[in-house]
Structures are given as C-alpha cells and as structure tokens.
Amino acid sequence: MNIFIVTQGSYSGYHICGVFAKEPLAQKFIDSFKDNQYNEMRIEVWELNPFKLELAKGYKAYFIRMDKEGNTLEIHKTDSTYSLGEGGFDIHFNMYLHCFAKDETHAIKIANEKRTQLIAENKWRENGTHKK
C-alpha cells in the first residue's frame, strides 16, 4: 500500500506538510493553498511498511557486487538506506545490488538470482549500454 506525502521546500527548508492515504485528498490539500502558496508543494509516493516481511524475519541490509560469471567481488552489511532494494551496474559492468538478507550466503543467492534473470532477459549491461 502506498501513502501520499505532501512536501514543500528544499534542503534545510524541506518539510512534510501532510500524509494522506489517497492521492486525490493530497491534491485537494495542495489546491487549498494555491492562492497564497510561497513554495510549491508536491506529492511524494511512498510505500507503507517497506520490507515488512524481511524485517520481521530479522534480515539485515547488504551491498553486493557480482560479475557476469557469478563471482562475488564485494559484499558487506550496509548502514545506508540509499537505493535499498535496487541495483545497477558499475563502470566495469559488474552488477551491484542493495538487498535485505538473513546472512551473506543468502545475499549472494539473491544476487545470483538477479544475475541469472538479467542474463536470461539479455539485459546485462555491457560496453556502456543496456542490451536490448
């Protein structure tokens, strides 16, 4: 389930104005300020209770880097929420992934499944571009 957060400002002036269960209500809130609004308000969509199952199982956040052959090049627990649940490719065309896992072995398994999927769908990034 998603929630709709109305925010305003930037940098140190960034703040939450309201949190709504439905986007139309968030938009009505913004519209009620149209005539005297100093800074533009915007709606951000956030998932409610992300990683609920993983957290209930005691999983930890990991960063893993893997080459196309399935060799683990780097793995460690991470203290950053940056890109959690996402991944991509580094400048050497190795895959990286931020994931929740019960341990390093589980994180490697998750990364290998993603690697296999990318190869099967011919989406492994090579030579600076994603293969189509």
Task: Give yes or no: residues 39 and 63 share one domain.
Answer: no
- Render pLDDT for 116-129 as a digit per residue (tens, 0 to 9): 999 999 988 775 44
Task: Give yes or no: residues 61 and 100 share one domain.
Answer: yes
Task: Give yes or no: residues 75 and 32 share one domain.
Answer: no
Task: Give yes or no: residues 79 and 18 share one domain.
Answer: no
Q: What is the pLDDT of residue 112?
A: 96
**By three-state DSSP, how is residue 49 classified?**
coil
Task: Give yes or no: residues 67 and 112 share one domain.
Answer: yes
- Render pLDDT for 14-41 as a digit per residue (tens, 0 to 9): 999 999 999 999 999 998 887 666 778 9
CA atoms of 87 and 80, how far apart (whole Å)? 14
Task: Give yes or no: residues 69 and 21 share one domain.
Answer: no
Task: Give yes or no: residues 38 and 70 share one domain.
Answer: no
Total domains, the chain: 2
Q: What is the pLDDT of residue 39?
A: 75
Q: What is the pLDDT of residue 36?
A: 61
On average, the pLDDT of the chain sits at 88
| Cα atoms in the 13 Å half-sphere on the side-chain side of 18 | 16
Task: Give yes or no: residues 27 and 92 share one domain.
Answer: no
Q: Domain span at residue 31?
A: 2-47
Q: What is the pLDDT of residue 130?
A: 41
